[in-house]
Amino acid sequence: MKFDTELVGKIGSMALIDEKAHIIDYTRVARISRELRPGVIWVSSGATEIGRLDYISRSGAELVGEHAKTDYAAQGQAILMQTYRQFIDPRYNVRQVLVEHQHFNDPAKSEYIKDMLLRCKAQNAIPIVNYNDAVSSEENRRMEIAALGKRRSHVYECVDNDETAARIACLVHAENLVIFTNAEGIYTDPDDPKTLVRSISGKDIYELLENIEAHKRYCAGASRAGANGARAKLEYVKDAAAQGTTVYIACAKYTISEVFSGAAPCTKIGVDI
């Protein structure tokens, strides 16, 4: 099977934060950045939480009010990109790509973004993608999503970057999709690390999708308030897995190469893996 992109990867907000120090985990970002190269599309959450922590460190208090998330995201985006640029190989160009749900629900906009992302490899560039929380009003977004839902059978919200990464993997026909989180993958018992599911597979697409659906019943909880958790991850990756993309759900304490080599415990999803 021919793929247009080698890897789409994603890291979650809480996986980027040093919880004890209440700052961005620079060691983790540096380790990830060393593995990024042209041909990789990287989806990075974290702008809002990083912006919040930065604001608190400078102001001594949190913002209040309905627009706090927007303001934090605007502050955190600059820090997030500065950090990736600091650690990514200086030979490579680094590009920030901010997306919203409308980009994935409009075929023309989706194609435009796809073309831009695919051009990056030839231009020696690495795109860093994030949802554009700084200009996203939750109330307006919900109204727009509801309106779209009346006209089409499936609508992509993409405010969760797990869904954003999965949609991008479908757009660019990625060979691999890695979703980094704080957990090592999917568990049959979320309270027992010994129940890690090492693989979800099937002899064909239909059996694979059935098995993904079956494993959703084991999933509960999320790493932070507002996140959708492991169940949503499995739902989001179904389309990518159905097109032949191999999906990995893994812990961000490991490297990409450790995930691919099998050295890192994780959940691997695909046909006949």
Which residue would you say has higher pLDDT here, 115 or 137?
A: 115
> What does the block give as tokens for 227?
């996140």
Q: What share of the chain is helix, strand, coil (3-state, %, to 5)?
A: 45, 20, 35
Q: What is the pLDDT of residues 96-108, one digit of tens each?
A: 999 988 888 889 9
Q: Max CA-CA distance within the chain?
A: 56
| 44 CB-side CA count, 13 A | 31
- Mark out the alpha helices in the chain (DSSP H runs): 26-33, 47-59, 68-87, 102-105, 107-122, 138-149, 161-171, 205-215, 229-236, 238-242, 256-261
Res. 57 pLDDT band, cuts 50 70 90: very high
What is the pLDDT confidence band of residue 226, given thresholds at 50, 70 and 90?
very low
**Residues recorded for the chain:** 273
Is the domain 5-182+242-253 a CATH 3.40.1160.10 member? yes
- State the chain's mean pLDDT as an integer: 89
Which one-letter DSSP state was computed for residue 187?
A: B
Q: Is the pLDDT confidence value at 228 over 60?
A: no
Beta pairing, strands 23-24 & 17-18 = antiparallel
Gap between the Cα atoms of 208 and 203, Å rounded: 7
At residue 158, does pLDDT exceed 70? no
Kindly report which listed range (20-34, 96-110, 221-235) carries the lowest average pLDDT score.
221-235
